[in-house]
Amino acid sequence: MTPTTLIRDVADGDMPAIQAIYAHDVLHGTASWELRPPDTAELTARRDQVLAAGYPYVVAEQDGQIAGYAYAGPYRFRPAYRFTVENSIYLHPDFHGQGIAQLLLHRVIDRCVADGRRQMIAVIGDRDSHASIRFHEKMGFRRVGTIDAIGWKFGRWLDSILMQRALGEGSESSPE
């Protein structure tokens, strides 16, 4: 029997599982450039800021377990960037390769389009993050730049890969 994945809005009770997923990536991956995992209270405060600003924050639940989460937030804070968002997706290590990231990102994209957003930026944590780069390409993103050796983690320099995708009408019309 194939498990069913439910994509839904985040709830307070999800935050310990989200903290565990994020902590694993902080300690073992390069998607996040934090060096120490924040605790559940800090991640809850960050989530609350995302939601208070009107951005989507969703989780994937499979058989009662949080398999991953995704959200969008401001790309930059200057007013001219108000139609551009940055996405974030994190999966529990046991759920990679099952299509859950696609479900999560589709939901975030749909919500951003409904909110009138026009561009989405993916900031990929390193040029060696081939799976993330391929995933974003599959989701319609194109590579728009590389910032070389901008971060230091795990005893090495990390590059930042910037990818972009239009949302809705993108730049084909005025958003206002």
What pLDDT score does 70 carry? 98
Kindly report the pTM of this predicted structure. Answer: 0.95
Q: Please indicate, yes or no, if residue 23 is contained in any of the structural domains.
A: yes
**For position 82, which CATH number holds?**
3.40.630.30
What pLDDT score does 3 carry? 76
Q: Which tens digit of pLDDT belongs to each residue from 113-161?
A: 999 999 999 999 998 999 999 999 999 999 999 999 999 999 999 999 9
Q: Give how many domains the chain has, as a whole number.
A: 1
Residue 2 above 70 pLDDT?
Answer: no
Q: Where are the beta strands (DSSP E) in the chain?
A: 5-9, 57-62, 65-74, 84-91, 119-124, 142-153, 156-166
Range of the domain at 37: 5-166
Q: Please indicate, yes or no, if residue 129 is contained in any of the structural domains.
A: yes
Q: Please indicate, yes or no, if residue 174 is contained in any of the structural domains.
A: no
Residue 20 above 70 pLDDT?
Answer: yes
